[in-house]
Amino acid sequence: MEQRDRVDRFRGDLLRLARQARRMTQKSLAHESDVTQGYISLIEDDQRKPSTEDLSRFSVALRFPVAFFGQPDVVLGTGVGELFHRRRKSLSPKELAAIHALLNVKIFAIRRMMRAVDWPTENVPVWTLGVDVDSVEGAAEMLRAKWYVPTGPVRSVSLLCDQAGVLVVPTAFGTTHVDAIGLWPADLPPMVFASIDTLQDRLRFNLMHEMAHLVLHQRSAISNVSEQVEDEANAFASAFLMPRREIKPHLRDLTLSRLGQLKRHWRVSMAALLMRATQLGTIPPADQRRLWMEMSQHGWRLREPEQFDVFGEESGLLYRDLVTLHRKDLGYSPEEIGVLVNLFPADVHDQILPIEPGLRLIG
């Protein structure tokens, strides 16, 4: 009877999601499960229900518990920022589908873990440009004021996000083409999935870039969604981290050495500082071209000098607290967390337990 109930609750879109998360085609899943590709297609479109035997085969082939395929959660699609992120266009449709499947798996698990906590009140405004705020720079200034950010460099962007009730989730995307993705599901707090393989100056910019999407694009009454939203998000992050009135006097007579010194102080990349100088008109075009050329010649467009690296960002503390509550306070083992979130222990280790930059579970 229990097996029959599981088949009755089975959802084809979750079979598709699990397959995409494992980067499998319908053909490869059919081969692994000893069924036909046409049968898989019918099941994913909810035109057929699998037998209990086939459901067990899918579970083994895709490494998801049978319970995973009967969850009530809505599968989320792309957000506004995702639609027009230029770098992500370099990803194949299969790779992008795998990343979004991974995010959905994480969100399903987060939703279940959050049932045990009283989440902090969110302090994330929703503004529409031209209605609530006059400009992107004005929105960045208003958010700094709303969050009571002192003048000068932001000490910790991660801490600001935590205090605002934004859930920053350290994530291994498996590609260098995705740095961060912001999503705000209707029943959950705003979330930013941030790559664990990103240097801290870039992490700070990425977090504020995604905050721009959450504040200005994800839920606002936006009427003309276009690639302009990416430019707005970049401008917002620049203005938040490098306010015009405070940084403009320092962006004159720039050299590579000067950019390195400013990076240490403002905790943003040399490239971001140079772009901000261009935005604010403090650097002649010839000097701008020369500095970009010098950075390219030194290989600094790909990796800026280590002596100027930024430190001190502790990303994902709220998320780690959420996991710690279950692991230590509630005493859940990884296996018990797996039962709670409908995942096998291997995925609990790889996808749910906090991951420190540069470290991977082995064995």
Q: How confident is the model at residue 120 (pLDDT cuts 50, 70, 90)?
A: confident
Whether the predicted pLDDT of 360 surpasses 50? no
Per-residue pLDDT, 222: 61
What is the per-residue pLDDT across 187-242, written as a single tens digit (0 to 9) for each?
Answer: 999 999 999 989 999 999 999 999 999 999 987 766 566 778 899 999 999 999 99
pLDDT above 90 for 106: yes
Task: State residue 88's pLDDT score.
Answer: 67
Predicted TM-score (pTM) of the model is 0.92
Please report the pLDDT score of residue 304 as a whole number: 97
Give the best-scoring range by mean pLDDT among 89-98, 284-293, 309-318. Answer: 284-293
How many CB atoms are located within 10 Å of the residue 285 CB? 8
- For residue 111, give the amino acid letter: R
Domain spans of the chain, in order of start: 1-72
Percentage of residues of the chain with pLDDT beyond 70:
92
Residue 3 — pLDDT band, cuts 50, 70, 90? low
Rounded Cα distance between 275 and 267, Å, is 15
Encode pLDDT of 15-68 as tens digits. 999 999 999 999 999 999 999 999 999 999 999 999 999 999 999 999 999 999
At residue 218, the pLDDT reads 83
Mean pLDDT over 85-101 rounds to 81
Q: Provide the pLDDT for residue 358.
A: 37
Whole-number pLDDT of residue 356 = 45
Per the prediction, the chain carries an average pLDDT of 91
| 242 phi, psi to nearest 5 deg | -135, 75
- What CATH code would you report for 1-72? 1.10.260.40
